[in-house]
Amino acid sequence: MAKLYPFVAVFLLLSASSAASQSLNTSSDSIPGKDFSTGGKQSGEYLQLFAEDISRSNNLVLGVLLPRSIWSPLPRVLQIWLRNYIAGIIVYFVSGGLWSFYIYYWKRDVYIPADSTPSKEPIFLQIMVTMKAMPLYSALPTLSEYMIENGWTKCFANINEVGWPSYILLSILYLVLVEFGIYWMHRELHDIKVLYKYLHATHHIYNKQNTLSPFAGLAFHPLDGILQAIPHVAVLFIIPTHFLTHEMLLFCEGIWTTNIHDCIHGKVWPVMGAGYHTIHHTTYRHNYGHYTIWMDWMFGTLRDPIAEAKNMKDM
């Protein structure tokens, strides 16, 4: 019976998304050039809204950090990739650096015992692995923006097109489907031996508290990192999604993965925090989820860190 859960879950999620899309398609008649029923039906005038958002993002990052003479002559897709690459590096070092400073120096021995604080060697290795992967990581949001700008997805440009209640509902559906997709992608990266050996094992060399750190959050084989982020893009073809919200959530992955690799159990139910994810790095067979514990609970792979600590004390 448990084997039917994934299929039932997919059916329910797709039914909910289909109902939401049909409801929005009725209201989209008042939005010039926009049709939520299928991708590729937006008018050129409507697609210009996405192009303007992308140009603003390029100017916000590249215009501030680089002379215009360097990036302006580049083809648009390279401008987008360069902006995503620079922004990704900034997010990685700022979030990882500030959080490491807070837990390892400012709050030394408060959250992490001195003998469990990672040394410089694993942290340096994690940074090197991430920097090698970052050029390919940046290709995924670049591809996402290219498809959105060309009208291939169900993205919409402004929240007022659908209204706040529909926006909230659609955002929840988006996150649930992304969570479902990441859970199964992550689980298959463990279950399929060749994928684990040649891709995911790169990340799992960090399997103890004194080797895990916030900088381990993006230390993957580049194809592994892309595979686990693909649900963010695939869902754009299923759920009408606000473009800038999608962009924000994709880049927030860098902050979130920093958080779940710090080994500090936040005890915020039902969040899949670092306490759960540290267990994943030690057992390899539990807590595959990303944002919440619900997928692991639903599919029988959940292991609670508090119960785990209690069992260790009783042994």
- The closest of 41, 63, 43, 39 to 51, measured between CA atoms, is 43
Helix axes 120-137, 222-234, angle to 10 degrees: 50
pLDDT exceeds cutoff 70 at 24: no
CA distances from residue 90 to 65, 93, 177, 179 in whole angstroms, order as listed = 11, 5, 28, 25
- Across residues 81-108, what is the average pLDDT? 94
- The Cα 248–Cα 279 span in angstroms is 28
Residue 219 main-chain phi, psi, to 5 deg: -85, 75
When computed from its CA atoms, the radius of gyration of the chain, rounded to whole angstroms, is: 21
For the whole model, what pTM was predicted? 0.87
Question: How far is Cα 209 from Cα 278, in angstroms, rounded to an integer?
Answer: 8
Q: Average pLDDT of the chain?
A: 87
What is the DSSP annotation of 210-253? TT--GGGGG-S-HHHHHHHHHHHHHGGGTS--BHHHHHHHHHHH
Binned at pLDDT 50, 70 and 90, residue 8 comes out as low
* pLDDT at residue 39, as a whole number: 46
pLDDT band at 263 (very low <50, low <70, confident <90, very high): confident
Q: Which residues of 238-255 are buried (b: 16+ CB within 10 A; e: fewer)?
A: bbbbbbbbbbebbbebbb
User: Is the peptide bond between 270 and the residue preceding it cis, with omega within 30 degrees of 0?
Assistant: yes
Lowest average pLDDT, out of 68-82, 96-110, 130-144, 158-172, goes to 96-110
Helix residue ranges, H only, the chain = 5-27, 44-65, 68-71, 76-101, 120-137, 139-149, 164-191, 193-198, 222-234, 243-259, 274-283, 294-299, 305-314
Terminal CA-CA length for the chain: 33
- pLDDT tens-digit series, residues 291-304: 999 999 999 999 99
Q: How far apart are CA 302 and CA 307, in angstroms?
A: 11
- For the ranges 26-35, 235-244, 253-262, the lowest mean pLDDT is seen at 26-35
In tens, the pLDDT along 193-240 reads: 999 999 999 999 988 878 899 999 999 999 999 999 999 999 999 999
Buried/exposed 281-312: b ≥16 CB within 10 Å, e otherwise:
bbeeebbbbbbbbbbbebbebbbbbeebeeee
Residue closest to 209 by CA, chosen among 118, 110, 306: 118
Contact 116, 210 (CB under 8 A): yes
Q: How many Cα atoms occupy the beta-carbon half-sphere of 292 within 13 Å? A: 15
Tokens (6 digits) for 89: 């590096």
Region at 292 (left for phi over 0; alpha for psi -120 to 50; beta for the rest): beta
CA 230 distance to own-chain centroid: 9
Q: Give 115's pLDDT tier (boundaries 50, 70, 90).
A: confident
In this predicted structure, the answer to whether residue 33 has a pLDDT above a threshold of 70 is no
In the structure, what pLDDT confidence band is assigned to residue 38 with cuts at 50, 70 and 90?
Answer: very low
The amino acid sitting at 193 is K
